[in-house]
Amino acid sequence: MDFKKALKDFWYGKPHTAEEGGRRLGENYLPKTGLYKHREWRGVKDTFYYFNYIWLYNYIHMVMDVMKYGGLINFAKGVWRYRWVGQTYLPVLHWFDRGMEGMRGEALRGSAWHYRAMVNATIYQFMSMFNADTRLHGGKKNDAWYHTMAMKETVWGGMFYGWRDKFKAVALEMIPYFVTCHVNSHTVHNYIDAVQSIGLPGDPCPMCQAESGLYVLDDIPDYSPFMITCNEACDGSVGTAILQDWFNDKPLFALQMPMIFDDPLANKFVQKDIEKCWKFIEDQTGVPMNFDLMCEYIERQNELMKFEWEKWEVAAKTNSYPINGVAQALYRIYQSQMGDLPIWHEVDGHVRKIMERAVRNKTNTFPNTRHRVIAWSCAPLYYSNWCTWAYNTWGLNVVINMDSLMFDMTIRTDSYENMLEDVAQYHMWAPMRRMAVGGMHHIFELWDYMERFNCDMVAMYDQLQCKGMQGVHGLFEDEFRDRNIPAFWIPHALPDSRTVSRAEMRRLINDYMTTVMHEEPLDPSLLELDDDMTW
């Protein structure tokens, strides 16, 4: 036995290499379940960082967050009543594990903070739902019920900043559906099956199916007197609203998002529709929109955007960006869609310190990077951590992704007119809208971003039920060929892990890397995993 090496491995963790003595992360798993025989030993410093500042810290803060936002009793009632919270959110630390497998040093620290923020925002939202939910309070409409607004998850949360002092705005499906898929992909199958059981065909976007299925299974809290819906991002969302209106059976306002949003006429039109939406809320709540409050929160959100731009600069121009692909994607989409929350600022503060230190020390945060990858189109929710696997296995470092690049703007607050104009624009640059279902000009902005982020490879998501992206599939193939850009496709069905399994996705990437790129894996133990039953 080589004691020197054993001591080195103990102190620093095993090296990330295919050579003998490499870390072989795939051997840590128990078959099928994705559970670990033991969690990864990352060396003394990183293992104890993970244990203290990620595992313990987040378990403790989860309890504290629950207590802070409504108490353990409300939480327990919610867990007992709603599948999506009970079945999903308990294994949340495993979600951390999957996202941060193999990470070390600053990359581990920076990415973990992003996860912490998302957990806090999630608890804030489901506790807000439970506090107001008539189903958990003997059918009674309490004060919280009258002071909570419900909107479709594709409506930007900032639309309701003008009532923030008196009302909470909580998206109907973001927590019951969207976030669950990342944490525990089993839950959502129930909702997809439920809506198909009442006659919906299997081919519409599974995200929309799941959103509707929540209602079919009677698994949505009743926490608000009305709801705001929206046609963002696609035909399926419009369809979902039809079912939601029926099952929700409450006053509903449909906020429009023009399809041709580059048209100068569209902005003015949307401004008027947003004003109508605000008027609807005023009529429902009896409380006028507070412009000063709106501006105050927009300014806070602008700060988040400005820091995001700083992060992009570092990601684009250095090797010291301390956030991995999955943390970057999920945090950004969550934060920009939900709108301002104190936790985003707190976490950005931590991340700033980590990032500045990494840049100052010229730390190569992903030292085994072989390719800088941009991920384009809609990502698989049940395998958002594929990029962690891809880095560990092949050195594919997903630097940036399409969802992060939405909402790429700050909003002016110097006058009501400017604010409204920018809010309208922000609304129209929503996820899956601008670069997925929007015009071809935006969809093919990919090349510009590749250059900007210094990427040499594309991970092209292939959401099998997204009609918009399927409709341009061949053009992408042609362009990749004509431009001689290495690109691999990742087929998936957004939340539904039964359509394309994780193993199938990995196999396609493996095939591409060996047969097209002629490369050898960095960690052969990860090439084939049986994680069919994993969360």
Partner 1 sequence: MKKFVKKALCLGGIGYAALFAVFFFDLDGKLLFNVVEPFLKNHYDNMERKDMLKTPYDMDKFPDYKYDEA
Partner 2 sequence: MRDLKHLIYFENLLQEANNELVQQAKAEGKFAIGYTCYFMPEVLLDLPGCFSVRLRAPRCSSPDIATYYMSARVCHYGRSLFERALEGGFNFLDAQMATETCTVTCRFQEHIKPKHLDSVKDMNVIQNDKFFCEFTDVPFKNTENDYEYFRDQLRAHVLTTLHDNLGIDVSDKALKEAIKQHNEVCKLINEIGDYRKLDNPTITGYEFHVIQLVSLVCPKYLILPYLRETAKEMKTRKPDEKWPFRCKVVLAGSENDDPDFTKLVESCGAEVVCDRYCYGAVESRQPIVVEKGEDPLYAIAKHYLKTSNCPRFMPQDEMRARKQRLADLVKEYNADGIIVCSNKFCEYWSYERVVDTVVLKRDFGIPVCSIEKEYINTASGQLRTRFQAFVESVEIKKIQEGK
Residues that bind partner 2 (CB under 8 A): 198-201, 203-205, 208, 212, 229, 231, 234-236, 238-243, 245-246, 251-254, 256, 258-260, 263, 265-266, 268-269, 272-273, 276, 437, 439-441, 443-448, 464-465, 467-468, 470-475, 477-479, 482
User: With contact defined as beta carbons under 8 Å apart, do 277 and 159 qualify?
Assistant: yes
Closest CB 519 distance from partner 2, rounded Å: 28
Q: Is 531 helix (H, G, I), strand (E, B) or coil?
A: coil
Does residue number 71 form part of the binding site for partner 1 (CB under 8 A)? no
Does residue number 39 form part of the binding site for partner 1 (CB under 8 A)? yes
Q: What angle do CA 196, 170, 495 make, to 5 degrees?
A: 35
Closest CB 83 distance from partner 1, rounded Å: 4
Q: Which is nearer to partner 2, 63 or 260 (CB)?
A: 260
Q: Which is nearer to partner 1, 36 or 444 (CB)?
A: 36
Q: Is 34 helix (H, G, I), strand (E, B) or coil?
A: coil
Residue 94's binding partner, choosing from partner 2, partner 1, none, with beta-carbon cut-off 5 to 8 A by kind?
partner 1
DSSP states of 158-196:
GGGGGGTTT-EEEESSIIIIIIHHHH-TTHHHHHHHHHH
Closest CB 38 distance from partner 1, rounded Å: 5
Interface characters, 230-259, with partner 1 (x: CB under 8 A):
----------------xx-x-xxx------
Strands (E) in 334-427, as ranges, are: 371-376, 396-401
Tokens 């099956």 correspond to what residue? Answer: 193
- Angstrom distance (rounded) from CA 377 to CA 389: 19
Which of 126, 117, 125 minimizes the C-alpha distance to 99?
117
DSSP states of 46-79:
HHHHIIIIIIIHHHHHHHHHHHHHT-HHHHHHHH
Q: Which is nearer to partner 2, 187 or 256 (CB)?
A: 256
Name the token pair of 451. 């250059």
Residue 473's binding partner, choosing from partner 2, partner 1, none, with beta-carbon cut-off 5 to 8 A by kind?
partner 2
Q: Which stretch binds partner 1 (CB under 8 A): 8-16, 38-46, 125-133, 355-363?
A: 38-46
Q: Which is nearer to partner 1, 135 or 357 (CB)?
A: 135
Which of 421, 446, 425, 451 minimizes the C-alpha distance to 435?
446
Does residue number 291 form part of the binding site for partner 1 (CB under 8 A)? no
Does residue number 69 form part of the binding site for partner 1 (CB under 8 A)? no
Q: Which is nearer to partner 2, 418 or 470 (CB)?
A: 470
Q: Which is nearer to partner 1, 11 or 51 (CB)?
A: 51
Helix (H) or strand (E) holding 107: helix 105-132
- Angstrom distance (rounded) from CA 87 to CA 485: 42
Residue 212's binding partner, choosing from partner 1, partner 2, none, with beta-carbon cut-off 5 to 8 A by kind?
partner 2
List 376's β-bridge partners, or say none: 460
Tell which positions 17-36 bind partner 1, by CB under 8 A. 33, 35-36
Name the token pair of 375. 């991920």
Residue type, 496: D
Judged by CB under 8 A, the number of residues near partner 1 is 42
Distances (CA, A) of 105 to 80, 284, 344, 357, 395: 39, 51, 22, 11, 17
Q: Which is nearer to partner 1, 56 or 63 (CB)?
A: 56
Alpha helices (runs of H) in 251-324, residue ranges in sequence order: 264-285, 291-317
Does residue number 182 form part of the binding site for partner 1 (CB under 8 A)? no
Q: In what order do the strands lie in the sheet with 227-230?
A: 168-171, 148-151, 227-230, 252-255
Residue 162's binding partner, choosing from partner 1, partner 2, none, with beta-carbon cut-off 5 to 8 A by kind?
none
Tell which one of 15, 22, 71, 91 touches partner 1 (CB under 8 A).
Answer: 91
Tell which one of 216, 294, 314, 522 touches partner 1 (CB under 8 A).
Answer: 216
Q: Which is nearer to partner 2, 250 or 370 (CB)?
A: 250
Q: What is the largest CA-CA distance in the chain?
A: 76
User: With contact defined as beta carbons under 8 Å apart, do 218 and 135 qualify?
Assistant: no
Residue type, 254: A
Does residue number 56 form part of the binding site for partner 1 (CB under 8 A)? yes
Q: Which is nearer to partner 2, 445 or 530 (CB)?
A: 445
Closest CB 195 distance from partner 2, rounded Å: 8
Q: Which stretch binds partner 1 (CB under 8 A): 68-76, 84-92, 122-130, 511-519?
A: 84-92
Q: Which is nearer to partner 2, 356 or 445 (CB)?
A: 445
Residue numbers of the site for partner 1 (CB under 8 A)?
33, 35-39, 41, 51, 55-56, 79-80, 83, 86-87, 90-91, 93-94, 97, 186, 190, 198, 215-219, 246-247, 249, 251-253, 272, 275-276, 278-280, 283, 535
